[in-house]
Amino acid sequence: MNAEKRAAIFNRLRIAIPNPSTELEYQSTFELLIAVILSAQATDKSVNIATRKLFAVANTPEKIAALDAEGLEPYIKTIGLYHAKAKNVVACCKQLIDLHAGAVPNTREALEALPGVGRKTANVILNTAFGQPTIAVDTHLFRLGNRTKLATGKNVQQVEQKYLKTIPKAFLQDAHHLLILHGRYTCTARNPKCGECCIVDLCEYRDKVIPTPHLMAGDAATNMTDPLNTTSKEPT
């Protein structure tokens, strides 16, 4: 895929998704960090349901650390792997208090040293909270990169590096959220909605189903007014 096509893809995505952002609910960088840790192998919707209750009573490292794992679990028990996540979140909060005066650090090294925080979570925080041009490769970005040929690779690290090397600089800041939203609602795993896709003619997916012109025109108009197809969202 050449640079001209890449730029065209991201330009169309930016038009279709004018305000790309995370769908996790948060009011502070700390709340975002906890929400992202909890979101591993869970949907944003399930995390938001849990954190609405949790953050209403405990939204600082000190308050969550005071709950301890047993006190935290009832708030997050609807989220997968909640036993392990409760331990990690409490340990993370204690480390934030001990090493960072309760503040979320803004460097990769410090973030990845926190319990429950890996490279993907660190990338999300660096990008969303601190405005750094990082790419957090989750299942959507991995699938999208290999399917469209935007960033091919056999593992997450290869795909991340390919994205970083090839995404036009003008789009690098928003690329993560543009791609994750497109992958979540349009370029879905089992049944990609090629007929609703704003980049269908640029995508290099060999099994894509290109709609007939008259259908494409109608669907494109719908897609531009409702780019995330919010009237018929699939579970994330």
Q: Residue 91, exposed/middle/buried by CB under 10 A (0-12, 13-18, 19+)?
A: middle
149: left (phi over 0), alpha (psi -120 to 50) or beta: left
pLDDT range class, residue 236, cuts 50, 70, 90: very low
Q: Which of 44, 53, 98, 120 is catalytic?
A: 120
> Which residues belong to CATH 1.10.340.30 in the chain?
29-128
pLDDT at 199: 95
pLDDT at 228: 47
120 is catalytic: yes
Distance CA 94, CA 64 (A): 9
Q: Residue 54, exposed/middle/buried by CB under 10 A (0-12, 13-18, 19+)?
A: buried
Distance CA 175, CA 191 (A): 23
The answer, yes or no, to whether residue 225 has pLDDT greater than 90, is no
> Which residues belong to CATH 1.10.1670.10 in the chain?
3-18+136-232
Residue 70 structure tokens: 């047993």
The answer, yes or no, to whether residue 211 has pLDDT greater than 80, is no
**Across 13-17, 166-170, 207-211, 230-234, least confident range:** 230-234
Closest CA to 35 of 117, 111, 97: 117
Per-residue pLDDT averaged across 210-217, rounded? 57
The answer, yes or no, to whether residue 195 has pLDDT greater than 50, is yes
60-109 pLDDT, tens digit each: 999 999 999 999 999 999 998 999 999 999 999 999 999 999 999 999 99
pLDDT at 179: 96
Mean pLDDT rounded to a whole number for the chain? 90
Per-residue pLDDT averaged across 46-52, rounded? 97
For the domain covering 3-18+136-232, report its CATH number.
1.10.1670.10
149 is catalytic: no
160-190 pLDDT, tens digit each: 999 999 999 999 999 999 999 999 999 999 9
| Statement: 29-128 belongs to CATH 3.40.50.740 | no
Per-residue pLDDT averaged across 4-21, rounded? 95
Torsion of Cα atoms, 164 then 18 then 130 then 79, to 10°: -90
Share of residues in the chain with pLDDT > 70 (%): 89
| CB of 41 closer than 8 Å to CB of 81 | yes
pLDDT at 8: 96
The answer, yes or no, to whether residue 229 has pLDDT greater than 50, is no
What SS3 state is found at 229? coil
pLDDT at 172: 93
Closest CA to 42 of 159, 121, 134, 147: 121
Q: Which of 44, 85, 138, 219 is catalytic?
A: 138
